[in-house]
Structure 1
Amino acid sequence: MSFKKFLYSRFYAAVCKINPARFCKIKNDNRPVSPYKLVFFCGRTGTEYLNASLASVYKSWDTIPEVIITTDGTPADVIQQKLMKWPQKVEILTWDFCATALKENGRGDLYEYAAKDVWGKKLVGICYCAGKFPILYSDTDILWFRSPVLEDLTGKTMVKMCVDVDHNYSQPLLEAMHQTDMLKIAPLNAGLIYAGGDFSKFPQWNELCKYLSEKPDHRTEQTSFAILNNYLNQGNSFATEEIFIQVDDMYSFKYTKKYKPNIWARHYVNLKGTSFWRDFIYLLMGR
């Protein structure tokens, strides 16, 4: 690494530590409440990104969503202490709460999956919330630049993901579920998911949940949602012109919104330590 790149990385590490979202002035206004819940998965060390993502929602959306934060086991009060002020209802749920509720409804296998794997904890949070109401799940390393345009999910079961840069799937899971043809279509990323309804409508749901409880790996969560997207919502995902992913501008000073003015949001896959904070500073300084 060159000295210039070293300084660049150290500068944005310092930016992260000061929690810059605290400089975003949040107040109640006349914007309506979003017709879905905005859901995050966050632990003790991710609250700076969570706050920045929330600040980008506040600065960019035409509505203000109620927020649910599911955690990796971090106590709710720890998250609450670090959380920025939010003008709508915020609920913090541990993974164990979500997984226990699923277990009580016959999904003990998903509880086992979550107990074994951190991304299983994310999956059970999404499954629990989506079974209650429409949700827009967002990883904390997503920044928003305008309101998303989302269809009404009343009476529907849906999983809608964003397009990825590669097929980052679990090959053993695809083979076990006879879903290897998914490698021939656009890859999907679980960083952003619009979802709602009963996932058991997927004919192989029991088989999928059993596999997850027995053979979890670091890609089974994303692969599972991609399988559901392919069945419940085939051929329908957020385009790269809507939810943008780029992985080669780690040391650039160029603001994403300047060269991608029409995107709704960007997911900073593998670049949260640099490009994420660069764009957030631009966003924070803007109107």
Structure 2
Amino acid sequence: MLRESLFSLYRSWNSLPEITVVSDGSWMAQEFAEVFAWWPMPITVLMREEICLAAMSAGFRELADYARESIWGLELAALTTQAKQHPVLYADTDILWFKDPALLLGDPALWAKPRAQRESNCHQRRDMALRHCPQVLEPPFVNGGMVALHGELMTPALLRNMVQDALPHPLDSSCEQTIKAAAIKLGGEFFPEKLSLVEFDDVHRFRSRNMKKEGYYSRHYVTPARQLLYRDALKLRLECL
């Protein structure tokens, strides 16, 4: 999926961004270099231990532990530590791009507040939400598959407390999702609606929704719509022939 996501970005963005990939250790830097040799710029690969060390250095021992035990914790730790250093547009690999989003995203120097996608429904960990941010359980719901940030995701105390709650559940993606959602509800914003579609109402249709005709800049193919990603990715490939 990462290959197709980057290919869609390559053909739709006017200016290519610096790409950083975070690996859980299943792929090494050399393997990324071989598969993505076609990408015209260097790709930075950060390994799990590098992210854990960055979290420890930032004073987040709990976050480092979460990153070691959970891929969702690794994702959260990568966003948290990297965004303190420079502007970050975090994007899941199951996102395809259709237009350059630069104008919608705005000046990266102004990304101090976290921004994320809205979704009609999104699974949250209810007990965590009720303890820390009940608004997470109310619409509009937050999808954390794309987040823009340059600064702190949330207050350090709240982050530590929520991560502590997530630690016993390393395989539950809703914990990390709830942490991101709390950040948006308490001090963040939503992206413009047209930046990304997060829906799956066309899963059983013969024809899937057309992002270009509907004016969307990208689509996040959440699990129920995952098969549509490969169909749309193939269409993008065929258009280039």
For normalisation by structure 1, the TM-score amounts to 0.75
Return the match for 2:136 from 170, 177, 182. 182
Stretch deviating more after TM superposition (181-190 or 195-204)? 195-204
Tell whether 2:179 aligns with 1:224: yes
Distance 1:253 1:64 in 2: 34
Tell whether 2:118 aligns with 1:159: no
Tell whether 2:175 aligns with 1:191: no
Helix, strand or coil: the match of 1:208?
A: helix
Distance 1:132 1:163 in 2: 26
Contact 2:98 2:212 in 1 (8 A): no
What amino acid does structure 2 have at the position aligned with 1:248? D
Gaps of 5+ in 2: none
Instruction: Quote how far apart the aligned CAs of 1:119 are.
Output: 0.7
Helix, strand or coil: the match of 2:207?
A: coil
Return closer, same or farther for 1:282/1:271 CA change in 2, 3 Å cut-off. Answer: farther
Contact 2:119 2:142 in 1 (8 A): yes
Distance 1:286 1:52 in 2: 14
What amino acid does structure 2 have at the position aligned with 1:229? I
Deviations 1:134-158 (A, max 9, x none): 1111111110010112122426522
Distance 1:251 1:84 in 2: 36
Contact 1:72 1:94 in 2 (8 A): yes
Distance 1:210 1:172 in 2: 13
Aligned to 1:31: none
Contact 2:58 2:81 in 1 (8 A): no
Contact 2:154 2:183 in 1 (8 A): no
What amino acid does structure 2 have at the position aligned with 1:268? Y
Matches within 5 A, 1:30-41: none
Return the match for 2:123 from 162, 168, 182. 168
Aligned to 1:52: 4
Aligned to 1:11: none
Return closer, same or farther for 1:147/1:162 CA change in 2, 3 Å cut-off. Answer: same
Higher helix share: 2
Gaps of 5+ in 1: 1-48
Instruction: Quote how far apart the aligned CAs of 1:95 are.
Output: 2.0
Stretch deviating more after TM superposition (138-147 or 77-86)? 77-86
For normalisation by structure 2, the TM-score amounts to 0.88
Instruction: Quote how far apart the aligned CAs of 1:85 are.
Output: 1.8
